[in-house]
Amino acid sequence: MRALVMEKGEDGLAKARVGEVSEDLLPVGDVTVRVEFSTLNYKDGLCLSANGGGLVRNYPHVPGIDFAGVVEASTDARYAPGDRVVLTGWRVGEVHWGGYAEKARVKADWLVPLPDGISARQAMAVGTAGFTSMLAVMALEDHGLTPEKGEVLVTGAAGGVGSVAVAILARLGYQVAAVTGRPETADYLTSLGASRIVAREELAETVKRPLETETWAGCVDAVGGAMLARVLGQMKYGASVAAVGLAGGAALPATVVPFLLRGVNLLGIDSVMRPYEDRVRAWGRIASDLPMDKLEAMIRPAGLSDLPELGAAILKGGVQGRVVVDVTR
């Protein structure tokens, strides 16, 4: 099978090689999947780096934390040859061989049946980023967010998670304010449904006041750090922030005042170990609530040989939208 394999050189650093690999090297698992498409996430960029980003434990290693394809063989009664499936998370592509190959073998518990109406290519345009976006929107809704309550802020809006969040929220009737530090992405974000663009500089500065004017009815935050702290002080009474990333840093220089005086909720969104039932619900919502024409506008096609360069770019914030990887290229 053809694959991208990370191998350690004599200098102790990992390098990518695209070529043929024996299927006998596939790990133990219940289901063998003929992979059609994979994608590129921030974690993939780390796994493609010379030190594996601290995520890869053993070499040789096949990265790719997401994949979609067709079941080729299964020892689990839930899946049969020909079934269409998708996988995100479960540390596949990190500690377990992932989707940057023409075949993958995984535990049946890690797979989700691909909903009707979503192709493998579209599923990977969604990927972990879009799946996480939908989980964030669902969490905000579960905590009372509705379109009539006001504007919803999306930080890091031009990235993978942010792009899909903007498209989903706009489709559901929300007024979306999209935060970006790249002015050239404004037209792209508007095309996804953003009603206005907020320059990153407007929110990047930490202020001494723990509370500012109540502005946002909800927020999907992919940045963290000082920006998240600032946004918490701008949320409306009882509003929620769904935290999905830390592109701006893991530290949170905030106070508890927004939680105590405005009843603000900070909702942590994990997509890696999410239970099966939540995954099925989220993919069902993706099938119904993500406009596929908007999804198509996010796609940047790539092959396996493109991934080392793209992996380095995504770590620097240089990738817009969603990279969809044809593993046969």
Q: Is the pLDDT of residue 282 over 90?
A: yes
Residues 218-259: tens digit of each pLDDT: 999 999 999 999 999 999 999 999 999 998 899 999 999 999
Work out the number of other CB atoms within 10 angstroms of the CB of residue 18.
17
The mean pLDDT value for 98-114 works out to: 98
Q: 3-state DSSP call for residue 199?
A: strand
- Residue 300's pLDDT is what? 93
pLDDT at 319 over 90: no
Which two structure tokens, joined as six digits, stand for 61? 């290693």
Res 321: pLDDT: 83
**Token pair in block for residue 266:** 């900070």
pLDDT of residue 174 exceeding 90, the answer is yes
DSSP characters over 27-74: PP-SEEEEEEEEE--HHHHHHTSTTGGGT--SSSB---SEEEEEEEEE
Q: Are 44 and 160 in contact (CB under 8 A)?
A: no
Mean residue pLDDT of the chain comes to 95
CATH class of 128-268: alpha beta
CA dihedral 314, 64, 227, 206 (to 10 degrees): -70
Q: Mean of the pLDDT values across residues 267-278?
A: 96
User: What pLDDT is attached to residue 195?
Assistant: 97
pLDDT (tens digit, 9 = 90+) per residue, 63-72?
Answer: 999 999 999 9
Q: What local confidence, expressed as pLDDT, does residue 136 receive?
A: 98
Following DSSP, what letter does each residue of 105-166 receive, concatenated? EE-GGG-EEPPTT--HHHHHHHHHHHHHHHHHHHHHHHTT--GGG--EEESSTTSHHHHHHH
**Which residue blocks in 155-256 are alpha helix, DSSP H?**
160-171, 186-192, 201-204, 225-232
Half-sphere exposure of 263 (CA within 13 A, CB side): 7
State how far the Cα of 100 lies from the Cα of 307, in Å rounded to an integer.
Answer: 9
For residue 277, give both structure tokens. Answer: 């039932």
State whether residue 254 is helix, strand or coil.
Answer: coil
Assign a CATH topology to domain 2-114+294-326.
Quinone Oxidoreductase; Chain A, domain 1 (3.90.180)
State pTM to two decimals.
0.92
Locate 160 and state its tokens. Answer: 């993978």
Q: Is the pLDDT of residue 206 over 80?
A: no
Q: pLDDT tens-digit profile of 143-167?
A: 999 999 999 999 999 988 999 999 9
Task: Name the β-bridge partners of 18.
Answer: 4
pLDDT of the residue at 317: 82
Neighbours of 316 (CB within 10 A): 8
Give SS3 for 211. Answer: coil
Mean pLDDT of 288-307: 92
* Bridge partner residues of 302 (DSSP): 325
pLDDT given at position 233: 97
Are the C-beta atoms of 246 and 271 separated by less than 8 Å? no
Domain ranges of the chain: 2-114+294-326, 128-268
Q: Do residues 36 and 68 make contact, with C-beta atoms less than 8 angstroms apart?
A: yes
